[in-house]
Amino acid sequence: NLSYGRQNDENKRAIKNAGGIPSLINLLRKSSDGEVKELVTGVLWNLSSCEDLKKSIIDDGLSVVVNNIIIPHSGWDPTSPGETCWSTIFRNASGVLRNVSSAGEYARKKLRECEGLVDSLLYVVKSAIEKSNIGNKSVENCVCVLRNLSYRCQEVEDPNYDKHPLPAQSRVGAQPKGDNLGCFGASKKKKETQPVQQKEAASTSRSTTQRTEPVKGMELLWQPEVVQSYLSLLQSCSNPETLEAAAGALQNLAACYWQPSIEIRAAVRKEKGLPILVELLRMEVDRVVCAVATALRNLAIDQRNKELIGKYAMRDLVQKLPSGNPQHDQGTSDDTIAAVLATLNEVIKKNAEFSRSLLEAGGVERLMNITRQRQKYTPRVLKFAGQVLFTMWQHQELREVYKKHGWKEQDFVTKTVAARNAGPNSPNNANSTLNRPMASQGGTRYEDRTMQRSTNMNSASRSPGPSIYQRGEDIPMADMSYPEGGTHAPPPGGVRAYPPAPVSDAAR
């Protein structure tokens, strides 16, 4: 109860300063009592939402949480895989990992290197998909951890991979047609062939040598095979948190420049994932749309993906841009608008046909709608919208078509954008923000999963049954039925108090 809720970070620190974390972990290691484990993991879940405590929980408790709870409950075993145990203890422990996995590079490194963790999480997700049991909190937690561990995955080879100029092969993706290369700044094909081949040879030899024995551990995160699991979730799951995390995982895997990302981008296409993602753009939940739009932007680095997105997703992408109608526009965040604009820019910049489609889908009106309301949008959105218009004007063969639609050069090229495109850091430069893939992790904003308070505090002395909750996984821990007839109502907070009060006291 002391550690419940974000407003109690002070208490969480006090528990840590009194040596609470090692004591709780020790109890978790020693106890065979399920209820004790449930409560200990519940307290750890609450503590793990405090930014300052994440490192201590990793240092003091990661191996115990993984080896004593996650691996055995997941059912994963390299020699004899078993059933996943969908227990409250597993839900809590996966919640702890979900919270700590967003604590920067240190956390990602520790969790990726933790033996059996990635294997177990992926095993749980696959089992849930096979049994059509994907709506629950444990699956949500596991996918959120996987999304965070996929963030900046290339850092395992090179922590500064994204500080270098964009590598040639990322600009090209799949085999381009003629000069139709993937990004601004990519020069003629001849010049690029050699480094691409050398680089791909180096990368491929790297990946083939690893294939001599079964892939395990962190390597599983970026194998093309994981794409199928994420797409199954995106196709069948209705839990927005899980949808956002699955799209975020694909977004992150497609955001890097190394060989595994090239393979992931192709795998999404081969597994028919693009239509699944495009359909999710129509969803009402903004943060899901944002993750999906950003995933599409990163997948468009691949030339063939870019062509398919341009051909089949243009209308859906344009629909996500503000129309000037407040009812239509209110649900879309600036982050989502920026992701959609970056995708559109990627798709149209070397392709006049797609620029024409953007015009015909009513895109110019919507882009103007953004650039004319400078007070309403963030500088990033305004910059991206101006850049998409500028990119459209670069297709000289379409200028007459634009004019027939009533637009003039000044609509597409403002002085600011023209000046920006002339400089060395111009958006035309392959290394500008707009042209780099976008990665993201689930921060504490969504990861603060402290145990919920009971919604039925004062109604009765008995714990209410699950029927008052919308979904099974929403039952607050306070209202879980306890063994040996413990029917007293919990006090306000996450878990019941000790020692148990008489029923009559609790009812008061």
Domain count, the chain: 1
Average of per-residue pLDDT values in the chain: 81
Residue 80: pLDDT band with limits 50, 70, 90: confident
318 domain-assigned: no
Residue predicted with more confidence, 144 or 483: 144
Residue predicted with more confidence, 132 or 446: 132
Spatial separation of the C-alpha atoms in residues 234 and 259, rounded to whole Å? 24
282 domain-assigned: yes
Residue ranges of alpha helices (H) inside 211-280 are 226-236, 240-253, 259-270, 273-280
Name which of 260-269, 373-382, 416-425, 455-464 the model is least confident about: 455-464
User: How high is the pLDDT of residue 165?
Assistant: 76
376 domain-assigned: no
Instruction: State both tokens at 482.
Output: 């306890």
- Quick: pLDDT tens for 248-270: 999 999 999 999 999 999 999 99
Residue 18 has pLDDT above 80, yes or no: yes
Residue 375 has pLDDT above 70, yes or no: yes
User: How high is the pLDDT of residue 476?
Assistant: 34
Residue 52: pLDDT band with limits 50, 70, 90: very high
298 domain-assigned: yes
H helix count then E strand count, the chain: 28, 0
Residue 187 has pLDDT above 70, yes or no: no
Mean pLDDT of 345-352: 94
- Give percent above pLDDT 70 in the chain: 75
373 domain-assigned: no
274 domain-assigned: yes
Spatial separation of the C-alpha atoms in residues 276 and 220, rounded to whole Å? 23
State the residue range of the domain holding 248.
Answer: 223-305
Mean pLDDT of 40-51: 96
Contacts of 69 (CB under 8 A, 6+ apart): 28, 37, 41, 89, 90, 93
Residue 457: pLDDT band with limits 50, 70, 90: very low
Mean pLDDT of 195-212: 45
Residue 262 CB neighbours (<10 A)? 24
Residue 443: pLDDT band with limits 50, 70, 90: low
Spatial separation of the C-alpha atoms in residues 12 and 6, rounded to whole Å? 9
3 state SS of 76: coil
Residue 464 has pLDDT above 80, yes or no: no
CB 311 within 8 A of CB 272: no
User: How high is the pLDDT of residue 167?
Assistant: 65
Closest by CA to 227, choosing from 128, 311, 288, 146, is: 146
Instruction: State both tokens at 417.
Output: 């954008």
Residue 168: pLDDT band with limits 50, 70, 90: low
User: How high is the pLDDT of residue 483?
Assistant: 39
Residue 478 has pLDDT above 60, yes or no: no
Residue 239 has pLDDT above 80, yes or no: yes
237 domain-assigned: yes
Name which of 17-31, 77-91, 98-112, 201-215 the model is least confident about: 201-215
Segment (H or E) for 335: helix 334-348
Class of residue 285 by CB neighbours under 10 A (exposed 0-12, middle 13-18, buried 19+): middle
User: How high is the pLDDT of residue 365?
Assistant: 94
Mean pLDDT of 97-108: 95
Residue 425: pLDDT band with limits 50, 70, 90: low
48 domain-assigned: no
Spatial separation of the C-alpha atoms in residues 14 and 145, rounded to whole Å? 27
User: How high is the pLDDT of residue 429?
Assistant: 57
Mean pLDDT of 128-146: 96
- Quick: pLDDT tens for 296-334: 999 999 999 999 999 999 999 999 999 888 777 778 999
In this structure, what CATH number is given to the domain that contains residue 245?
A: 1.25.10.10
Residue 64: pLDDT band with limits 50, 70, 90: very high
User: How high is the pLDDT of residue 79?
Assistant: 86
User: How high is the pLDDT of residue 7?
Assistant: 82
Residue found under tokens 């601004």:
184
- Give percent above pLDDT 90 in the chain: 65
User: How high is the pLDDT of residue 424?
Assistant: 56
